[in-house]
Amino acid sequence: GPNCPGVITPSTKTRVGIMPGDVFLPGKVGVVSRSGTLVYEVVAQLTSLGIGQSTCIGVGGDPIIGTRQVEAVRLLNEDPDTDAIVLVGEIGGSAEQEAAAYIREHVKKPVVAFIAGATAPPGRRMGHAGAIISGEDGKAENKKAALRDAGAYVSDSPAEIGITMQRARAERGLR
Enzyme catalytic residues = 128
* Contact yes or no for 31/6 (Cβ under 8 A): no
What is the DSSP code string of 5-28?
A: -EEEETTTTEEEES--GGG--EEE
Contacts of 13 (CB under 8 A, 6+ apart): 21
CA separation for the pair 69, 155 (Å, rounded): 18
Do residues 146 and 120 lie in contact, with contact meaning Cβ atoms separated by under 8 Å?
A: no
